[in-house]
Structure 1
Amino acid sequence: MLRLLEGSSVSLRSWLRSRVVGWLDAGMSDDRNVDGVEAVLAGADGRLADPGFLVNADPEEVLGLVDAASGPAGRLAGAVYRASAHLHREVGAGVRRQLLALDAARYGDRGLAARITAVLVEGEPAAPWGVEWATGSMVDRSFWQPLAGHTSTVSGVATGVEEGRPVAVSSSKDGTVRVWDLATGRQVGRPLTGDTHMVSGVAMGVVDGCPVAVSGDDETVQVWDLAAGRQVGPPLIGDTRVVSGVAMGVVDGCPVAVIGSRDGSVQVWDLTTREQFCEPLQDHVRSTVDAVATGVMDGRPVAVSSGQDRRVRVWDLATGKPVGEPLIGHTDGVYGVATGVVEGRLFAVTGSMDETVRVWDLTSGGPVGEPLTGHTGWVYGVATGVVEGRPVAVTGSGDGTVRVWDLTTGRPAGPELVFPAEVFAVAVTSDGRLVVGFGHEVAVLARR
């Protein structure tokens, strides 16, 4: 009977119920008929509760059983499968395994996520990444109790330490900044909110020994005391500029915020005195500055900025002067930038609307190798870090994927990770975990 219904648009549970009603009306019902229906329903629950079946079975076969689930485990598994059903039909079992683990975590069942990740797929290596936790703002809460999170697009993520525990900080177009315990996925305190309708990015650092987050919104920059869960002083900028990128650094021992603006300038603010450290840095040609990052090159604190003029600019933060010539190579606007150190040299990694990722040696002022290709959408999020002892770049794209690149070889460090929404923000923790902002959600993945 199940085989006849595979691929049918008719709900299996509805069909079975209609059959029972038919038997009752015709006076044909007996214990054997009822037992037969219960056996079918129990069989659906049993198969859906098998992670190997979810991962390896034909999607139409699985979807044909979803409506027949009656027990808690079966119904949850069905909801997990449905969450990314539009993708399951298009991908192989290896990618399906990763998506199902992610969606199980979005529903709050980390155990199911781990069991799915452990499933073996013929012809595929073991899953390289496991999902530690994920928010589930957009899933059906009637099935489980997911972690509540943002209610609009996640625009930025950063990592650090607050009161001795590793945390992630996320910003969103819903106007909030949220702090997450990296170990549990639980939200730390209440959402941080200001007088804004959206937050375009977030960075994390330390001011006067206290962990802070700096976030940018439509016209201002807010500084948040993470331990106290409150705003520190008035906004740093109160004019008509629109903030499009934020980063934190240190100049002469002073913590600074580096702000990219849609008026084409880069501003540097002393977070101790709450005054501008220097005059706005102006070199992007009639262009929004979409991303900024900081680093130390040859003992000098520097900022790196990128924007719609396709150029990448390096600035000496101590003097406010540009370093060298603009880095040119992208053929469209540059949305993401991060810095990292490889063999003692400071590098910048950039992601662009031209769907490529480029690596730049900031000491020599030139590109490193050929552009990194593979994304099929604009590259929004860029981060660097160390994973299993290797310096890596991590990039997130509008194509719904995250890619990890080995910076010593210029090659992918494993297969791409697939998400059910655009990826606007990525970060790498100090112990090599990935923090990913996709759609309205935040997820943390760790190497297995």
Structure 2
Amino acid sequence: MWSVSGAGADLAAATQVGHFDVEDLTPATRAVGVAFHGGRPVVLTSREGNGVYVHDIVTHTAVGDVLLGHTGFVLNAALVRTRGTTLVTSIGADNSAHVWDLESGESLGDPLTGLAYNGTLPYCPAPAVGRVDGRLVAVSAFSREVRVWDLTTMSPLGEPLCGGGNSLVSAEIITAGADAPVVVTGDLDGTVRFHDLADGRQIRPHITASRLFVDVAAARVGGRIHLVRSDWQETDIWSLGTRPRLLGRAGTSRRACLGAVDGRAFAVSSARDHTLHAWELSTQAPLGPPMTGHTSDVMALRAGDADGVPLVASASMDGTVRLWDVRTGHPVGKPLDGHGMGALCVDFARLDDMPVVVSGAGDGRLRFWRLYDRSPMDGVELERFPSPVRAVRVADIDGEPVLVAADSFGLMRVWDMRSPAWTAELDVGSGITGLSIGGGQVCVATQMGAVALGVNGVARPVEPRSEREGDVP
């Protein structure tokens, strides 16, 4: 601390009136911020355990208790006074920010999570705190985005002020009973948003960004919306009734699908070594042994059943689709092979009142297999896509069995499954990464955002490209 006086004072002549070597506390202690508290100069520090400490610079005495909560390196901390309360804010390399009451040592609420620290800006400032229209808010500036938070609910206000992206990895329509259909979208950076299917408005605070290369799966299981978000380091499991983060699961857990067996909500996901793991959402306890057999990346997983036996279908770049009994982890029959350039998507369906598996391949073809004996249905041949089939979904729309498929060029096709050929198609205009059907509509995840489309009855079959001019809208 230095004493300076007079306008334009000579700083070289300033007098030092206080000095505190924070390494006297422990050799690992670091100063992460300075401030004035009650007219006294204080320093904010962090050390082993990633707690935040406040000390008087002149007297070296502690001010308040240690503030605990960070699980990683604390980057910066700050002190602010608002309406008679002294708050401490901090930001860390654990992708979170915290706000504490200095006097009580208590956190204002859950951490501000989902900040995406990429290691390139180690001196991100601590969140700034203020009031807007009487509401206590914080502004965080992290490696890739600036965001405003409501400190009453500890949730984000609106979209990031900068750094937001639109490239989606998934879009799921979730419906149940009289509830309005909800569209849950997952962004490439891990941001999860919730929209009303009817008008597109955002209906609840989004889950903030995580890290790049994220997979997001959402479904209503047992009357509750569950969500699994994963990247190469960790998997987050959420229950969205009250938006709690149930727990985290260490390790890579990609391409998850959700379901229920014996009254338990479960997820099936793929690990780095291409094995599949079925685990209970609430406890992470495995439902059975790992499912081994794939020799390359698993690109899609889909839950279904056969005569009450819970199944999961997996599509892989090794060119096979495999069926698994979730309870035992055992394969059901031989692999469904022959997918040129890999199997990229899969779903369960009924065709001519027969349970079937439909798969999409990298060569642009759809293939159909009888579920009971895993034999190919040679009589079904739809015109191939011009690029890899990225998504396929089957549903009843107005009582009609409908299949919707899309490729990586943005071409989406609809098939009335009682017709001999495609019945409609549309060029969305952006690469498609996933789709979902619900409420009589199709929601498409693209590299430019989400698109909701209505399916209006059954059109006439689309002629093969060689026999028509242009595209049918």
Cα deviation, residue 389, structure 1: 2.1
How far did 1:258 drift? 1.1
1:200–1:218 CA contact under 8 A, matched in 2: no
CA distance in 2, matches of 1:273, 1:183: 35
Match of 1:205 among 184, 202, 220: 220
Q: TM-score, normalised by structure 2?
A: 0.58
Q: Is the 8 A contact 2:401 2:418 kept in 1?
A: yes
Is 1:335 paired with 2:344?
A: yes
**Counterpart contact for 1:296–1:346, Cα < 8 Å:** no
CA–CA distance in 2 between the matches of 1:383 and 1:413?
15
Superimposed CA distance per residue, residues 34-74 of structure 1 (whole angstroms, 9 cap, x where no aligned partner): xxxxxxxxxxxxxxxxxxxxxxxxxxxxxxxxxxxxxxxxx
Unmatched tracts of structure 1, length 5 or more: 1-146
Look up the equivalent residue of 2:309 and give its one-letter code.
Answer: R
Q: How does 1:185-224 map to 2 (within 5 A)?
A: 185-193=200-208, 195-207=210-222, 209-224=223-238
Matches of 2:159 and 2:349, distance apart in 1:
33
Structure 1: distance between partners of 2:415 and 2:271:
29
**Aligned partners of 1:192 and 1:263: how far apart in 2?**
29
- Structure 1 residue corresponding to 2:391, chosen from 381, 390, 394: 381
Task: Tell me what 1:169 maps to.
Answer: 184
Q: CA deviation at 1:358?
A: 1.4
Report the CA distance between 1:322 and its aligned residue: 0.5
Shift in alpha-carbon separation, 1:308–1:419, aligned structure 2, 3 A: same
Q: Does 1:447 align with 2:455?
A: yes
Q: Is the 8 A contact 2:246 2:282 kept in 1?
A: no
TM-score (ref. length: structure 1): 0.61
SS across alignment from 2:387: coil
1:291–1:305 contact (8 Å) kept in structure 2: yes
Deviation string 1:416-438 (CA, Å, 9 cap, x unpaired) is 11111111111110x32101112
Paired with 1:265 and 1:363, the residues of 2 have a C-alpha distance of 24
More helix as a share of residues: 1
| Corresponding residue number in structure 1 for 2:411 | 401
The answer for the alignment partner of 1:46 in structure 2 is none
Give the drift of 1:206.
2.3
Alignment partner of 1:274 is 2:294: no
More contact order relative to length (CA 8 Å, sep ≥ 6): 1
Matched residue, 1:156 = 170
Q: CA RMSD of the aligned region, Å?
A: 2.3
**Does structure 1 conserve the Cα–Cα contact (< 8 Å) formed by 2:259 and 2:265?**
yes
Matches within 5 A, 1:118-137: none
The superposition leaves residues 342-373 of structure 1 with CA deviations (integer Å, 9 ceiling, x where unpaired) of 45543222111111111222112122234433
Query: In 2, Cα distance between the equivalents of 1:159 and 1:410?
Result: 28
Q: Which amino acid aligns with 1:154?
A: L
Alpha-carbon shift at residue 412 of structure 1 (Å): 0.9
Letter in 1 for 2:362: M
Q: 2:322 aligns with which of 285, 300, 313?
A: 313
Cα distance, 1:216 vs structure 2: 2.9
Cα shift at 1:294: 0.7
2:257 maps to what in 1?
247
How far is the alpha carbon of 1:337 from its aligned partner? Answer: 1.3
- Following TM superposition, by how much is the alpha carbon of 1:148 offset from its aligned partner in structure 2, in angstroms? 7.2
1:145-181 residue CA offsets vs partner (Å, 9 max, x unmatched): xx97971421112121379221011112122111111
- The number of residues matched between the two structures is 294
CA 1:412–1:198: 2 relative to 1, 3 Å: same
> Over residues 397-420 of structure 1, what are the superposed CA-to-partner deviations in whole Å (9 max), with x where a residue is unaligned?
112111112334452122x11111
Q: Report the counterpart of residue 50 of structure 1 in structure 2.
A: none
C-alpha distance 402-442 of structure 1, shift in aligned 2 (>3 A) = same
CA deviation vs aligned residue, 1:231-286 (integer Å, no higher than 9, x gap) = 222x23x12x3x431111122221111112342111101123321211210011x2
Deviation digits for residues 374-404 of structure 1, max 9, x if unmatched? 3111111121111232222211111211111
Gaps of 5+ in 2: 1-157, 457-473
Show the 5 A alignment for 1:15-164: 151-161=165-175, 164=179
Matched, 1:231 2:245: yes
Match among 413, 416, 424 for residue 423 of structure 2: 413
Q: Secondary structure at the match of 2:346?
A: strand
Q: Rate the CA distance shift 1:307–1:275 in 2: closer, same or farther, 3 A.
A: same
Aligned AA (1:246)? A
Q: Structure 1 residue 360 and structure 2 residue 369: aligned?
A: yes
TM-fit CA distance, 1:201: 3.2
Distance 2:208 2:289 in 1: 29
Instruction: Tell me, in whole angstroms, the C-alpha distance in 2 between the residues paired with 1:257 and 1:182.
Output: 25
1: distance between equivalents of 2:230 and 2:381?
Answer: 30
Paired residue secondary structure (1:304): strand
Distance 1:290 1:313 in 2: 12
Contact 2:221 2:258 in 1 (8 A): no
Which has the larger Rg? 2
